[in-house]
């Protein structure tokens, strides 16, 4: 079988060594070490533009995926100075990973640009909106001002349910329904009352120092709970615990799952569907692209027997709700809402009843449209089990 | 830009800022540098070298035709250059703002509407190509325009460059798909040429804007013909001993009226490059064919191909390989930053001169000092002829900079094309890279084109310098 580069070797065989050596060296360098990832991304004609929610909605070269890398490259090359105005396009990223699906190098623009964001934070070049966030994370351990846990939830059991900042702050109903689901599948769920942020907002904004402090604290709490099984409502939290914590040397022995992943392999006996409503669904980007669960949510919903309308953008072509990645919703609220409205218009053309499995997506849709009813998947599952 | 002209631009920007909010009119450095280039290798090279010789003064993002009209009106009034911008994936510098001025990016105009009975889609010019095709597919249609730039490009860009896609042998180029067009022309007037199945009402003014690359006006909307999504897709591939055998086979297929959607014939080197893991094809001439559409018609077309093809049938594997890799543009990212000069040149020629053109272009590029390889595949076919898509790579020899080396290759290739009776561009357009050869191509027609341009755009604000106009 011929090798990948045999054609080139054959082509070069007729050329004198003196002529071919410089080119061969450059070719080899390109293949072996190559340019850095940011440069490679900058040289692409935006072959993931169609998948990037920001790029589709904002319509600007500057905030397109390769466009952001080009700005990053210009900052690194000192064509642009490292300041708030020049950093702004780089922060117009929802960290949804939709670009990665289409990239021949498997790049995530969010990952490529994180070092630039981190350098900015290290030089104390941060936005007021970030200062507020960092203060809340540092002082209260959440993205909100101090959260007072409501209700009477058990603090001992066999499955640790991490509710996440979003539901702890505003949606005790989903918390109760998730606890109910966990009980119905035969587990004994419990919570920790001093639950803190998973750290991902600090990671997204480039504050790696703060991220490391947060994850050290939270990892210790999870380890201290003694649970060997952890379930989250938020796919970003699950992604952080499963993927980012080990990368930053915070290993948790417990098996961690988002609720959709947790229910994936379970035998679930759903009651016959008496609901005549038609539903549509929105798969969160961190579940699909971050945790790699491309079909899990659809599979689970299919098992419920509900009447479902599949959106055009589904599976690994899902579209962000507009609030992913921490930075866009804080620095450009209007753009974040535009992305939400783009997704909502697609979903609403199918149904006003939307099922999702992410607290941020749920809150974002509810904030942007009073007509729609947004359900967490746990509410749906609980109602039918 | 001269100081006097900068004053004029500033005044126009001030006027526009009265109607465009901050986030849709920018003079920020990040935006200006982001629009200083497109995907023309020369402009990418500038960016890698941290050189920015063509920077606009402002960028504006309109959301409807009235806003486009306002931008054209103020630019015309202030004599400020205006450059329409779509996906920025053009490879010939058509959007490079060489004289400063204002970039008008249409990507915030992106609605679409399907008319099932008339088999038409009405699409705004800023609509993303993939978004359009995927939405159509979802509803059971295809437009069939699948360029390699499907993901980043826009509908307006397709019309502006007179683009064509990988499936054009069946579905045609964008000029055949376009049935109606809405444009804004200087000094700020909206023209609407409604879609009709055919019209005999004087010269076809719609076509004045197809391939005009933003020099005549700005397309705001188009109506395009669409097809029911093909119910059948047949994949065929062949290995031939000689390039002439494969070319002659396709000529006969086309002559009999069959229209496969995709036909691609790779010369020996490109066969080795693209199909290195298909041992039984390596070193031969690979042809991949896709026939699609109505079940019965597709079967008849398959029979015609099978009857005519000179070569050994190789099954669906090579076609699947092509389908999987057809959007891969990795090489530019890997090699261009390392100093490798790399580009493609697509041209068309009638069957009678096809062989001569292929050989002359390859022979004109290969001997140039620094060139590592030159190869081609044939990618689009007509009853009258063929499009050859050449690829070259190399590194400039000592004492020669990358840009001169690049231009030397282009120059030799263009001369060979013209000398062989071909046309200098099949679907990438002209831009700023090919403009010097346009006179050889059009002869006295170039003067006529300039006169038309002058009549429409007396103050020469619409993409000045592009196409050499």
Residue A324 structural domain: 278-384
End-of-domain residue from the set A264, A296, A323: A264
For range B62-90, the mean pLDDT: 98
CATH 3.30.2000.10, applies to B330-433: no
> Which of these, B197, B193, B221, lies nearest to B208 by C-alpha position?
B193
Helix or strand or coil: residue B346? Answer: strand
Question: What does the pLDDT look like over A150-192, one tens digit per residue?
Answer: 668 999 999 999 999 999 988 789 999 999 999 999 999 999 9
Please report, for residues A175, B252, B385, the alpha-carbon distance to residue B347 in angstroms, rounded to integers and kept in the order given: 63, 21, 11
Specify whether the CB–CB gap between B368 and B409 falls below 8 A: yes
Q: Is A27 within 8 Å of B340 when comparing Cβ atoms?
A: yes
Q: Is B61 within 8 Å of A59 when comparing Cβ atoms?
A: yes
- Say how far apart CA B283 and CA A274 lie, in whole Å: 64
Which of B34, B272, B372 is opposite residue A71, by nearest beta carbon?
A: B34
Question: What does the pLDDT look like over B39-68, one tens digit per residue?
Answer: 999 999 999 999 999 999 999 999 999 999
User: A260 and A163 in one domain?
Assistant: yes
Please check whether residue A20 touches B, CB under 8 A: yes
Beta bridge partners of residue B191, listed in sequence order = B183
Element (H, E) at B292: strand B285-293
From-to residues of CATH 3.30.465.10 in chain B: 112-228
What pLDDT, on a 0 to 100 scale, did the predictor assign at position A31?
65
Q: How confident is the model at residue A273 (pLDDT cuts 50, 70, 90)?
A: confident
> Which of these, A190, A214, A220, A186, lies nearest to A200 by C-alpha position?
A214
Measure in Å the smallest separation between the Cα of A335 and chain B Cα atoms: 10
The answer to whether residue A146 scores a pLDDT higher than 80 is no
Measure in Å the smallest separation between the Cα of B20 and chain A Cα atoms: 15
Measure in Å the smallest separation between the Cα of B24 and chain A Cα atoms: 9
CB-based burial label for A171 (10 Å; 0-12, 13-18, 19+): buried
User: A299 and A352 in one domain?
Assistant: yes
Using a CB-CB cut-off of 8 Å, the residues of chain A touching B126 are: 59
Assess if residue A94 is contained within a domain: yes
The answer to whether residue A6 scores a pLDDT higher than 90 is no
Please check whether residue B135 touches A, CB under 8 A: yes
Measure in Å the smallest separation between the Cα of B303 and chain A Cα atoms: 32
DSSP B110: -
- What is the complex's ipTM, to 2 decimals? 0.96
Residue A219, both tokens? 């990892």
What is the residue whose two structure tokens read 């417990």?
A: A254
Please report, for residues A9, A25, A28, A277, B402, the alpha-carbon distance to residue B339 in angstroms, rounded to integers and kept in the order given: 19, 10, 12, 60, 8
A17-55 b/e (C-beta count within 10 Å ≥ 16 → b): eebbebbbebbebbeeebbebbbbbbbbbbbbbbbbbbb
Measure in Å the smallest separation between the Cα of A172 and chain B Cα atoms: 38
Least CA distance to A106: which residue of chain B?
B330
Please check whether residue B342 touches A, CB under 8 A: no
**What CATH number has the domain spanning B3-107?**
3.30.43.10
Taken as a whole, chain A contains a residue count of: 385
Q: Is A312 within 8 Å of B339 when comparing Cβ atoms?
A: no
Helix or strand or coil: residue B10? Answer: helix
Average pLDDT over all residues of chain B = 96
A370-380 b/e (C-beta count within 10 Å ≥ 16 → b): eebebbbbbbb
What pLDDT, on a 0 to 100 scale, did the predictor assign at position A150?
63
Q: What's the order of all strands across the beta sheet hosting B58-60?
A: B25-26, B58-60, B102-105, B82-85
From-to residues of CATH 3.30.70.3450 in chain B: 232-325
Assess if residue A16 is contained within a domain: no
Which of B23, B152, B369 is opposite residue A49, by nearest beta carbon?
A: B152
- Evaluated on CA atoms B178, B180, B184, B187, the torsion sign reads positive
What pLDDT, on a 0 to 100 scale, did the predictor assign at position A17?
72
Query: What are the helix (H) ranges across B338-401?
Result: 351-365
The answer to whether residue B4 scores a pLDDT higher than 90 is no
Residue B392, both tokens? 């070259």
Least CA distance to A2: which residue of chain B?
B276
Assess if residue A11 is contained within a domain: no
User: A96 and A63 in one domain?
Assistant: yes
Residue B273 dihedral angles phi and psi, to the nearest 5°: -70, -45
Q: Is B395 within 8 Å of A34 when comparing Cβ atoms?
A: no
- Say how far apart CA B88 and CA B106 lie, in whole Å: 11
Q: Is B334 within 8 Å of A34 when comparing Cβ atoms?
A: yes
CATH assignment of B232-325, among 3.40.605.10, 3.30.70.3450, 3.30.590.10, 3.40.50.720: 3.30.70.3450
What pLDDT, on a 0 to 100 scale, did the predictor assign at position A16?
72
Which of B327, B328, B394 is opposite residue A23, by nearest beta carbon?
A: B394
The 3-class secondary structure across chain A, one letter per residue, is: CCCCCHHHHHHHCCCCHHHHHHHHHHHHHHHHCCCCHHHHHHCCCCCCHHHCHHHHHHCCCCCCHHHHHHHHHHHHCCCCCCCHHHHHHHHCCCCCCHHHHHCCCCCCHHHHHHHHHHHHHHCCCCCHHHHHHHHHHHHHCCCCCCCCCCCCCCCCCCEEEECHHHHHHHCHHHHHHHHHHHHHCCCCEECCCCCCCCCHHHHHHCCHHHHHHHHHHHHHHHHHHCCCEEEECCHHHHHHHHHHHHHCCCCCCCEEEEHHHHHHCCCCCCCCCCCCCEEEEECCHHHHHHCCCCCHHHHHHHHHCCEEECCCCCHHHCCCCCCCCCHHHHHCHHHHHHHHHHHHHHHHCCCCEEEECCHHHHHHHHHHCCCCEEEEHHHHHHHHC
The answer to whether residue A351 scores a pLDDT higher than 90 is yes
Which of A11, A47, A74 is opposite residue B327, by nearest beta carbon?
A: A47
Using a CB-CB cut-off of 8 Å, the residues of chain A touching B31 are: 60-62
Share of chain A above pLDDT 90, in %: 84
For range B317-341, the mean pLDDT: 91
Assess if residue A141 is contained within a domain: no
What pLDDT, on a 0 to 100 scale, did the predictor assign at position A152?
85
What is the residue whose two structure tokens read 């899902």?
A: A318
What pLDDT, on a 0 to 100 scale, did the predictor assign at position B302?
98
Most B-contacting residue of A20, A26, A32, A107 (CB-CB within 10 A), to test interface: A26
End-of-domain residue from the set A264, A299, A329: A264
Specify whether the CB–CB gap between A385 and A268 falls below 8 A: yes
Question: What does the pLDDT look like over B132-173, one tens digit per residue?
Answer: 999 999 999 999 999 999 999 999 999 999 999 999 999 999
Assess if residue A380 is contained within a domain: yes
Question: What does the pLDDT look like over A11-41, one tens digit per residue?
Answer: 878 777 766 777 677 767 666 667 899 999 9
Number of domains in chain A: 3
The answer to whether residue B264 scores a pLDDT higher than 70 is yes
Assess if residue A349 is contained within a domain: yes
End-of-domain residue from the set A208, A230, A264: A264
Helix or strand or coil: residue B87? Answer: coil
CATH assignment of B112-228, among 3.40.50.10490, 3.30.70.890, 3.30.60.50, 3.30.465.10: 3.30.465.10
Please check whether residue A46 touches B, CB under 8 A: yes
From-to residues of CATH 3.30.43.10 in chain B: 3-107
């Amino acid at each position: 079988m011929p090798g990948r580069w045999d054609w080139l070797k054959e082509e070069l065989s007729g050329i004198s060594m003196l002529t071919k050596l410089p080119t061969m060296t450059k070719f080899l360098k390109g293949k072996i070490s190559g340019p850095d990832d940011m440069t490679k991304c900058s040289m692409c004609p935006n072959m993931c533009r169609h998948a990037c929610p920001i790029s589709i909605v904002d319509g600007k070269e500057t905030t397109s995926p390769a466009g952001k890398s080009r700005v990053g490259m210009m900052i690194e090359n000192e064509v642009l100075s490292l300041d708030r105005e020049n950093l702004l396009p780089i922060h117009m990223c929802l960290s949804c990973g939709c670009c990665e699906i289409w990239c021949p190098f498997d790049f995530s623009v969010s990952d490529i640009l994180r070092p630039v964001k981190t350098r900015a934070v290290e030089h104390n070049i941060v936005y007021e909106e970030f200062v507020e966030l960092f203060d809340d994370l540092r002082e209260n351990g959440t993205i909100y001002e101090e959260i007072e846990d409501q209700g009477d939830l058990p603090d001992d059991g066999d499955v640790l349910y991490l509710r996440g900042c979003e539901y702890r702050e505003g949606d005790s109903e989903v918390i109760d329904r998730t606890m109910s689901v966990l009980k119905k599948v035969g587990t004994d769920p419990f919570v920790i009352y001093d639950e803190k942020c998973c750290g991902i907002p600090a990671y997204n904004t480039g504050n790696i120092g703060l991220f490391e402090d947060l994850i050290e604290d939270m990892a210790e709490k999870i380890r201290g709970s003694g649970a060997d099984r952890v379930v989250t409502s938020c796919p970003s939290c699950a992604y952080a615990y499963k993927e980012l914590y080990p990368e930053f040397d915070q290993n948790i022995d417990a098996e961690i799952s988002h609720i959709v992943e947790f229910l994936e392999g379970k035998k679930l006996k759903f009651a016959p569907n008496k609901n005549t409503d038609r539903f549509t669904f929105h798969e969160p980007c961190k579940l699909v692209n971050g945790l790699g669960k491309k079909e899990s949510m659809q599979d689970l919903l299919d098992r419920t027997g509900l009447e479902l309308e599949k959106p055009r953008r589904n599976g690994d072509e899902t579209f962000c709700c507009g609030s992913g990645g921490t930075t866009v919703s804080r620095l450009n609220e209007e753009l974040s809402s535009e992305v939400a409205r783009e997704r909502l218009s697609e979903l609403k053309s199918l149904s006003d009843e939307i099922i999702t499995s992410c607290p941020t997506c749920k809150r974002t849709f509810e904030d942007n449209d009073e007509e729609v009813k947004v359900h967490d998947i746990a509410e749906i599952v609980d109602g039918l089990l | 830009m001269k100081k006097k002209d900068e004053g004029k631009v500033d005044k126009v920007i001030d006027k526009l800022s009265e109607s465009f909010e901050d986030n849709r009119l920018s003079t920020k450095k990040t935006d200006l540098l982001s629009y200083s280039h497109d995907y023309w290798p020369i402009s990418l090279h500038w960016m890698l070298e941290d050189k920015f010789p063509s920077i606009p003064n402002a960028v504006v993002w309109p959301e409807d035709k009235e806003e486009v009209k306002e931008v054209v009106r103020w630019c015309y009034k202030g004599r400020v250059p205006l450059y329409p911008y779509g996906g920025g994936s053009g490879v010939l510098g058509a959007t490079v703002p060489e004289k400063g001025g204002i970039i008008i990016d249409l990507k915030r105009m992106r609605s679409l509407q399907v008319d099932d009975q008339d088999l038409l889609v009405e699409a705004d010019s800023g609509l993303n190509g993939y978004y359009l095709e995927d939405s159509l597919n979802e509803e059971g249609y295809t437009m069939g325009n699948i360029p390699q730039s499907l993901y980043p490009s826009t509908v307006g860009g397709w019309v502006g460059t007179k683009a064509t896609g990988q499936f054009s042998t069946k579905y045609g180029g964008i000029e055949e798909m376009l049935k109606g067009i809405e444009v804004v022309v200087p000094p700020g007037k909206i023209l609407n040429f409604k879609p009709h199945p055919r019209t005999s009402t004087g010269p076809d003014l719609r076509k004045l804007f197809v391939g005009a690359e933003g020099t005549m006006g700005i397309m705001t909307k188009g109506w395009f013909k669409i097809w029911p999504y093909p119910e059948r897709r047949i994949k065929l591939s062949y290995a031939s001993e000689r390039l002439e055998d494969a070319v002659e086979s396709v000529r006969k297929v086309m002559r009999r009226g069959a229209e496969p959607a995709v036909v691609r014939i790779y010369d020996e080197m490109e066969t080795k490059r693209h199909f290195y893991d298909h041992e039984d094809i390596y070193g031969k001439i690979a042809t991949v064919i896709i026939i699609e559409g109505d079940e019965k018609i597709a079967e008849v077309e398959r029979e015609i191909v099978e009857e005519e093809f000179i070569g050994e049938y190789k099954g669906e594997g090579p076609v699947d390989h092509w389908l999987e890799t057809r959007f891969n543009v990795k090489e530019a990212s890997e090699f261009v930053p390392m100093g490798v000069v790399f580009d493609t040149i697509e041209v068309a020629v009638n069957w009678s001169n096809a062989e001569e053109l292929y050989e002359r272009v390859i022979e004109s590029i290969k001997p140039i000092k620094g060139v590592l390889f030159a190869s081609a595949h044939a990618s689009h076919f007509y009853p009258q002829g063929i499009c050859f898509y050449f690829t070259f790579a190399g590194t400039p020899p000592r004492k020669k900079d990358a840009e001169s080396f690049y231009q030397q290759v282009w120059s030799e290739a263009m001369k060979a094309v013209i000398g062989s009776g071909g046309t200098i561009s099949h679907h990438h357009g002209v831009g700023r890279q090919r403009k010097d050869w346009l006179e050889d191509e059009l002869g006295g027609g170039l003067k006529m084109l300039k006169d038309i341009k002058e009549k429409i755009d007396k103050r020469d604000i619409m993409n000045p310098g592009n196409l050499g106009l």
